[in-house]
């Protein structure tokens, strides 16, 4: 399930391989679900959850540091030089979001 995938791979401790695997699975699910037209709110909710899961996972994969609740086991330290700034994420058709760093 999406809930299990997010908890296990994008939860408290994260690392590149797990995030990449999660992003691949989310992208596969999105390919089916986002192209489907739903008439009920439950279908729209699944579409929205998959969009959000992709944005969260892609963002976690791009952030190569640990900070606050975002902990990467493969990047355990903060990196203020590269990451102490505002980051805008834009939704796109790509599995990982496009981003722009400011500051």
69-89, pLDDT tens digit by residue? 999 999 999 999 989 988 776
Domain count, the chain: 1
12-31, pLDDT tens digit by residue? 999 999 999 999 999 999 99
Q: What phi, psi does 73 have (nearest 5°)?
A: -65, -25
Q: Is 103's pLDDT higher than 70?
A: no
Task: CATH number of the domain at 66, please.
Answer: 1.20.58.100
Coil vs helix vs strand at 69: coil
Burial degree of 103 (CB within 10 A; 0-12, 13-18, 19+): exposed
Range of the domain at 88: 2-102
């Amino acid at each position: 399930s999406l809930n299990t995938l997010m908890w296990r791979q994008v939860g408290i401790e994260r690392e590149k391989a797990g995030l990449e695997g999660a992003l691949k699975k989310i992208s596969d699910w999105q390919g089916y679900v986002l192209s489907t037209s739903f008439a009920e709110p439950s279908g729209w909710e699944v579409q929205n959850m998959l969009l959000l899961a992709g944005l969260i996972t892609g963002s976690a994969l791009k952030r190569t540091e640990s900070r606050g609740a975002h902990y990467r086991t493969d990047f355990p330290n903060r990196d203020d030089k590269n990451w102490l700034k505002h980051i805008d994420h834009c939704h796109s058709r790509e599995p990982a979001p496009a981003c722009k760093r400011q500051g």
